Amino acid sequence: MKTYGFLLRVSTVLLIVLVVLTAGAVTGGRPAWADGAPAGQDLHISQTLGARELTVVVRRADAVPGPLRVDVITHAGTPAGRLALRVIPTGASTAAGELPAAGSVVAEGTLDLGAVPGYHGVTLRVDRPGPWELAVDDGERVARIPFIVPARVVTPPEFAAYVGFTAAGALLLVALALVVWARRWWLSLFPAGGMVAAAAVGVTGALLSATTPLPPQAGPDLDPTIDNVTAPYSVKRPPLEDLSRPPVNMHLRPPEEASAGRRVEFDLLLTDGATGRPVDDLLVHDSALIHLIVVSPSGRLWHLHPVRIGRGHYQVSLVAGEAGHYAVTAEVARRGGGVQLLRSATGFEVGPGLAHAVPAPEPKGLGLREVDGTAVDLSVTGGAYGEATGIAGSNGTPGTPGTPGTEGVSGGSAAKGVSAEAGAAKEAAVEPSATEVVAGQATTINAKIGDTADLQPWLGMEGHMIVVGPLPEGKPVGKATESAPIWAHVHAMGAVRKDGVGGQPDETVAAFGPTVRFTYTFPQPGRYRLWVQAERNYSIVTVPAILDVGRPEGGDPPA
């Protein structure tokens, strides 16, 4: 009896150990990755759809088949209207099924947008994992947004852990049965030995599941199909893989008739640098497929997000505020090609138009100004002295309202001038100074927007800064920026956290700022144009500035 009791106690301990190890294997698996983010996170993507600047949020799909929540966030100035949303599977599979064919509409719904900016949502339905397309239709154009519905993928080590622990548990029960009912304890040694071997397999699989490299992922690495989304370990691959892809060429198809003061719509055609075929493998990068920067002849900036209307075909529009030449630059991320800066060699021309179309005012340098009724203070840290400059207004004192600024598309606006009552001293203080920033040295530009922490995350960040230069004197800004040697897109320090449930917070969270900071090393001396952007009250605040960068002591900056 002592032997039986001992074996029972040992078996009980082993059973508890198996339960704990099995639970660890089940809960310790890694999520699959799709489209540059962990599957199970929300996909945020900005779209400039006609006159509307929208943020479309495709919420995580927890079960397939099951519901898919799609939210649309509108911004200040977005006209009211109705959007039709449709979800369409686009992936091909080697296995035939009874589901609707790829390319057919599985679910659709409508959203009524009001004049007040904010949050709108609709629940659709998906019936399979794999690549999908969300069509957003405003009645005149259709934006086609690619996304991936993930599948729960069990890695080979996880599968070995499940099988090993299951077999070990079954053999443990057999051993217990032999001990209790057969009364021949030595017979239990055979299943006990098998249990030990199975447990060893399970433990090995559980340990390897956390360290085994993932295969190339559908989305970031491979063009997604149903097969490589649902069974990435079963897809046959060559032994040596080169996942890199050539650079992208961008052709800007200018509008046929463009006049100042009217909406101008133009197309972007993206082609492969090696084959000339349309590029249709862009990834969502900083919450957009394309970040398009347009600069007017007087320096007004638009930060737009063209909509995908076909393979390698994107479209966008803006209200051209003045006649002259407009510079165009795009930032994209291609699957296997990384982030790329595409600068149009031609831009586009806008002819004379409405009498009220006026150029943007000349921006100031550092210091205090007012933008859309909000006090904005620009200062720098670092440069030649390694400390904050003594610019007037750096204490955040609210400015005096000045003359109205000029507005750009998507709620952006140029800075408003400081009033004459501010005095000549303050006016002189905001002029550019070449002694504050030195080429080749890291400089932090601080933008204090308002006095409270009520900034909203935009494009996944607290703020963005566009840097162009060095620019020559006297040349129209559009022409000058088109040939400028340096274009930079700088993100605010202290990016918005994205590791919470569902990923990054959306624009309904107004809890950041009021100061956003950008660190950048200006490679060359000269005069630069800066545009700082942040979101407040569902409006994109655009703060233009001029900054003179000095030459370091001893000559040119280090190469």
What mean pLDDT is predicted for residues 443-465? 92
- pLDDT range class, residue 431, cuts 50, 70, 90: very low
What mean pLDDT is predicted for residues 524-552? 94
Return the percentage of the chain with pLDDT > 90, whole number. 45
Least confident of 140-144, 195-199, 205-209, 493-497: 493-497
Predicted local distance difference test score (pLDDT) of residue 400: 29
Residue 24 clears pLDDT 70, i.e. is over it = no
**345-378: b (≥16 Cβ within 10 Å) or e:** eebbebeebeeebebbbebbbbbbbbbbebbbbb
Predicted local distance difference test score (pLDDT) of residue 409: 31
Residue 399 clears pLDDT 70, i.e. is over it = no
- pLDDT range class, residue 417, cuts 50, 70, 90: very low
- pLDDT range class, residue 541, cuts 50, 70, 90: very high
Predicted local distance difference test score (pLDDT) of residue 110: 96
Taking the C-alpha atoms of residue 289 and residue 275, their distance in angstroms, rounded to an integer, is 21
**Cα→Cα distances 469→343, 432, 547, Å:** 14, 14, 10
Residue 428 clears pLDDT 70, i.e. is over it = no
Contact 231, 257 (CB under 8 A): no
**64-95: b (≥16 Cβ within 10 Å) or e:** beeebebbbbbbbbbeebebebbbbbbbebee
Condensed to tens digits (0 to 9), the pLDDT of residues 520-536 reads 999 999 999 999 999 99
Contact 113, 191 (CB under 8 A): no
Largest CA distance in the chain: 105
Residue 226 has φ and ψ, to the nearest 5°, of -60, -40
**Single pTM value for the model:** 0.80
Predicted local distance difference test score (pLDDT) of residue 184: 63
Condensed to tens digits (0 to 9), the pLDDT of residues 131-148 reads 999 999 999 999 999 999
Q: Most confidently modeled of 98-102, 212-216, 244-248?
A: 244-248
Taking the C-alpha atoms of residue 56 and residue 47, their distance in angstroms, rounded to an integer, is 7
Predicted local distance difference test score (pLDDT) of residue 432: 45
Predicted local distance difference test score (pLDDT) of residue 134: 96
Predicted local distance difference test score (pLDDT) of residue 405: 31
Least confident of 39-48, 85-94, 95-104, 526-535: 95-104
Return the percentage of the chain with pLDDT > 70, whole number. 76
Residue 99 clears pLDDT 60, i.e. is over it = yes
Predicted local distance difference test score (pLDDT) of residue 238: 57
Predicted local distance difference test score (pLDDT) of residue 420: 31
Q: Computed from CA positions of residues 384, 391, 541, 419, in that sequence, does the dihedral angle turn out positive or negative? A: negative
Residue 5 has φ and ψ, to the nearest 5°, of -65, -40
Least confident of 33-37, 259-263, 278-282, 519-523: 33-37
Residue 421 clears pLDDT 50, i.e. is over it = no
Residue 426 clears pLDDT 70, i.e. is over it = no
Condensed to tens digits (0 to 9), the pLDDT of residues 487-498 reads 999 998 765 555
Contact 553, 525 (CB under 8 A): no
Least confident of 45-59, 344-358, 495-509: 495-509
More confident call, 126 vs 218: 126
Residue 82 clears pLDDT 90, i.e. is over it = yes
Taking the C-alpha atoms of residue 359 and residue 396, their distance in angstroms, rounded to an integer, is 29
Least confident of 28-42, 198-212, 522-536: 28-42
Predicted local distance difference test score (pLDDT) of residue 427: 36
Residue 408 clears pLDDT 50, i.e. is over it = no
